[in-house]
Amino acid sequence: MVAGLRPSVVRHGVVVGLTVWQIRAHEEELEAGQQRRKHPVQHDVYLADAGSVNQNVIQCPIPDDLSDGGVAPEETEEPRKQFVAAVKVGVEVVVSRVGMMQKMVAAKARIRHAGKQPRGNGANASVDALAAVNRAMHSIMGCYEQAGVQKGLQQHMMDGKTVDVHKAPRKMAAPRQNDDCCNENTHDKYEDASFVAIMMNNQHRRSVLLTTAVAIMLAWNAVSAVAQKLLIPMDLTQTNHLKAYGIAYWALTKDLPVDWLLNYRGGSFMLDAASDVVAECRIRGVRFEQLDGGSAAAVYADVQSERNNTEVVRLEKAPRIAVYVPPGFLPWDDAVTLAMEYAEVKYDKLWDDEVLDGKLSEYDWLHLHHEDFTGQYGKFFSSAAGQPWYVQQVALLEATAAKHGFAKVTQLKLAVVEKIRDYVANGGFMFAMCSATDTYDVALAAAGTDIADAVFDGDGVDPAANDKLDFTRTFAFENFRASLDPYEYEYSSIDIESNQLLATKDSDYFTLFDFSAKYDPVPTMLTQCHVNVVRGFLGQTTAFHKQYVKKSVTVLAEREGTDQVKYIHGNVGRGTFTWYGGHDPEDYQHYPHDPPTDLALHTTSPGYRLILNNILFPAAKKKKQKT
């Protein structure tokens, strides 16, 4: 076997070589002119020159979008060159083996004839010689069978006559792996085989057309063996789910489309098996499977079948990602940035200055760091008023407010909230966790009143503040009460109290809802996971009371048997928002300045997968909603 060519490719090359050899034989007979038509050769085997046949093969149409099959880079060639090389090998095998077979048939006839003569021990010698020729011929036939040439194939391809010139007398042992035309193990035994020689006649036109059609079909089969897809499974077989999202994002940055197979093996990814993609998967430790054209088509057919709750969503362009974080922010202070750093997803950082300057329009997806949008400094006054980090935070916020002409931090944060609202309404994707979820809606609802105590903004609260909340302005929640007590570590009645959850820590799990992939692709994308029950985790805002969630909002996950909602999604104008309660999916009870979570120890984290679903969500090509 020629180095660098896979056996399956060469097998197809042999088949195509046989077919092109026959076409060339027809052409030569046609070119012979009127003289040959007057004296047609009814039983003659034509052997074309390998060079001329190769020239014909090179002219065969080969699609330009072939991949290299997903093998290691050092073992591959350009697909077109690889296919042509394989066919050249096939042609050489055909030419040499046909010539050998013809000689062996003649030798066999002579040996049989000699064996019939009464020459004493000569008859036994003839039997031994005949057995040796049989073994050699059967070895050749084994190679043909290995190459995919079945008995009588050419008989169906050609419109001429055929004649069986060799019949093996019995089952013979398979050729060894080091036989001159074989490079891989074959069947233990071969059945009786026959070498079918093509005997050409003068019925050229129909047979040439038929043979050409079959050659094109066989060429396409050979090409299909090379054109492969790469399947990145996201079920329990995956070794690194988080890095797999990074591979999908990386491919999009290289203008390589990715198909997200919703609900298929945990929400797997399918993309072209380019050598650089394969190398990147290996470098990052992401498990993948190589599929040939037929296997990939079967997967797509299965996913798109109406019988299955699965669907294909094409991801086309890497979203531009921004994270709203304060200056001096460290990646491990926030679960989303921690996930993106580990998955190697690029993002930009921005804060109040950039938001107020209109920079949000440059991004497709925005994550809100666990911010307090009510302007009450995270309500850490009672527990950390004298801590250096708290003092620095207050000074930074007050300076930023003054810089933009605001008298109070509450006014600064309200202006930021309004800018973000416009961003979403104009088509942006917003994702938030922890306190950035409920404080965002509390700030919107309290725009016409004052809910911040004097310890935060220098003046007292409006005693009637809760009666003045405007829930028509909010994204997700309604009918809640704002917390007006500066010493209470809560912003509103929306959040589930941590003490309530700590009492049931061992049973704190939430369940993902199962959506119709074909009719509700958006919530299906956001809930892709290899498990449907996920370990809970706390945060300043841990989860949401269901009674305060608007009817227009889609609940993605909840704690069964309770009113606790963990994960929600909704639409505002032309954009969307997705909110996820809690701080760190792999740190049940996180405190400020705790050591960072090492995601290398949590490569298959279901909780972090839900975060990364949101990063790819904006890359999805919009489909017309099914009704």
Query: pLDDT band at residue 192, thresholds of 50, 70 and 90?
Result: very low
Type of residue at 40: P
Whether residue 224 has pLDDT greater than 80: no
Q: For 225, how many CA atoms within 13 A lie in the half-sphere containing its CB?
A: 18
Q: Give me the torsion for CA of 534, 555, 350, 456, rounded to 10°.
A: -100
CA-nearest of 509, 511, 518 to 263 is 518
CB 510 within 8 A of CB 501: no
Whether residue 342 has pLDDT greater than 70: yes
State mean pLDDT over 173-202. Answer: 37
Category of 458 on φ-ψ map: left (φ > 0), alpha (ψ -120 to 50) or beta = left
Whether residue 96 has pLDDT greater than 60: no
* Ranges of H-type helices in 345-474: 352-356, 381-384, 388-403, 409-425, 435-445, 454-457
State mean pLDDT over 232-241. Answer: 98
The CA-CA-CA angle for residues 413, 415, 418, to 5°, reads: 110
Give me the percent of the chain exceeding a pLDDT of 70.
62
- pLDDT tens figures, 556-575: 999 999 999 999 999 999 99
Whether residue 261 has pLDDT greater than 80: yes
- CA atoms of 454 and 339, how far apart (whole Å): 38
CA-nearest of 375, 368, 479 to 433 is 368
- pLDDT tens figures, 26-58: 455 555 554 444 444 333 333 333 333 333 333
| Higher per-residue pLDDT: 486 or 225 | 486
| Higher per-residue pLDDT: 161 or 367 | 367
- CA atoms of 451 and 31, how far apart (whole Å): 97
**In the structure encoding, which two tokens stand for residue 475, read together?**
């994204």
Indicate the pairing of strand 289-291 with strand 544-545.
unpaired
| Higher per-residue pLDDT: 588 or 245 | 245
| Higher per-residue pLDDT: 497 or 347 | 347
Whether residue 258 has pLDDT greater than 50: yes
Whether residue 530 has pLDDT greater than 60: yes
pLDDT, residue 591, reads: 72
- CA atoms of 586 and 607, how far apart (whole Å): 7
Which SS3 state, helix, strand or coil, does residue 492 take? Answer: strand
Q: How many helices (H) and strands (E) does the chain have?
A: 20, 19
How many CB atoms are located within 10 Å of the residue 31 CB? 8
- pLDDT tens figures, 586-626: 998 877 677 889 999 999 999 999 999 999 989 986 655 55
- pLDDT tens figures, 282-310: 999 999 999 999 999 999 999 999 999 99
Give me the percent of the chain exceeding a pLDDT of 90.
53
Compute CA 513 distance to the chain's CA centroid, rounded to the nearest angstrom. Answer: 23
DSSP for 550-584, please give it. -TTSEEEEE-TTSSEEEEEEEEETTEEEEEE-SS-
Q: For 453, how many CA atoms within 13 A lie in the half-sphere containing its CB?
A: 15
Place of tokens 């193990």: 185
How many CB atoms are located within 10 Å of the residue 292 CB? 18
Q: For 93, how many CA atoms within 13 A lie in the half-sphere containing its CB?
A: 30
CB 492 within 8 A of CB 445: no
- CA atoms of 596 and 593, how far apart (whole Å): 8
pLDDT, residue 38, reads: 44
Whether residue 222 has pLDDT greater than 80: no
Q: Which long-range contacts (CB under 8 A, 24 or more apart) does 385-391 make?
A: 389/592, 389/593
pLDDT, residue 155, reads: 40
* Range of 364-368, 388-392, 487-491 with top mean pLDDT: 364-368
**In the structure encoding, which two tokens stand for residue 248, read together?**
């999908």
Query: pLDDT band at residue 92, thresholds of 50, 70 and 90?
Result: low
CA-nearest of 414, 404, 409 to 456 is 409
Type of residue at 245: Y
pLDDT, residue 553, reads: 98
**In the structure encoding, which two tokens stand for residue 80, read together?**
């077109």
CB 587 within 8 A of CB 221: no
User: Phi/psi of residue 166, each to 5°?
Assistant: -150, 130
State mean pLDDT over 96-108. Answer: 54
The residue count for the chain: 627
pLDDT, residue 328, reads: 78
CA-nearest of 453, 482, 450, 452 to 466 is 482
Query: pLDDT band at residue 16, thresholds of 50, 70 and 90?
Result: low
Q: What's the whole-model pTM score? A: 0.67
pLDDT, residue 181, reads: 40
DSSP for 8-76, please give it. HHHHHHHHHHHHHHHHHHHHHHHHT-HHHHHS--SS------HHHHHHHHHTS---TT----S--GGG-
Whether residue 186 has pLDDT greater than 50: no
State mean pLDDT over 262-278. Answer: 96
Query: pLDDT band at residue 386, thresholds of 50, 70 and 90?
Result: confident
- CA atoms of 109 and 604, how far apart (whole Å): 68
